[in-house]
Amino acid sequence: PKGSVKSDGAPHRIPVGSFTTTAQLSLVAIPLRSPWVHVRARMINTSAAPLLAGPVDLIMSSGYVGRAEIGFVAANEKFYVGFGPEADIRIHRDETRERDDAGLLGGWNVQTVRVAVRLSNLGTQTREVVVTERIPISEVEQVEVHASAPDAYLLGADDQPGGEEITQVTARALDERGLVSWSVELPPLGRRAVTLEYRVRSQRGVAGV
């Protein structure tokens, strides 16, 4: 398309195309990387041309949200855009590690890792959040990683602030990349928790474990 640009030194924008697509919104949390629950939109580039990598302005019904980056998106390809944190949901992550070193005569060192993620819904609507954690993947024979059963690490009242019980979600999915995900339904003004336990066994002398 043609356009006229004034020689005034100011930036000018020229529209080169547009398209309309449907956005599927979801709430996602990766507590290891961020203490927030984020709004994520899944979209498809329904235009006949690709979208070039670069910054995009984010606008929702409430107005301007901010700016994000997208990669190269081919025609008819799906892509994801994050629209920032969800203010009504709070998330807190705790991690503990216990190490059992091998004896002087040899054997394996064992490190038990336990993760607890607690979510709180401050809003008046039921919300569904996909929580993702990660279990390390070993690429050497001297190190083994084993995920415990989904209900191996259960939280009691003593583990909660104020000694209050919290409903724990144990149904999860574990893929070959070591990503563990839970679909957590948060009732209005409700609280939920997910936990993860895994053990790392390493032979004596292996560094960095």
| Domain layout of the chain by residue ranges | 41-84, 89-203
Cα atoms in the 13 Å half-sphere on the side-chain side of 45: 20
pLDDT at residue 203 tops 80? yes
pLDDT at residue 21 tops 80? yes
Beta strands in 160-207 (DSSP E): 167-168, 173-174, 179-186, 191-203
**pLDDT of the residue at 206:** 74
**pLDDT of the residue at 165:** 81
pLDDT at residue 209 tops 90? no
Q: Which two tokens stand for residue 84?
A: 């920032």
**What's the mean pLDDT when you consider all of the chain?**
89
Tell me which residue has tokens 């929702």: 60
Q: Among the listed ranges 26-30, 71-75, 141-145, 189-193, which one has the minimum average pLDDT value?
A: 141-145
Q: How far apart are CA 102 and CA 185, in angstroms?
A: 42
Q: Which is more confident, 61 or 195?
A: 195
Helix (H) or strand (E) holding 71: none
pLDDT confidence band for 29 (50 / 70 / 90): very high
Q: Which is more confident, 37 or 163?
A: 37
Give SS3 for 9: coil
The reply to whether the predicted model has a pTM over 0.85 is no
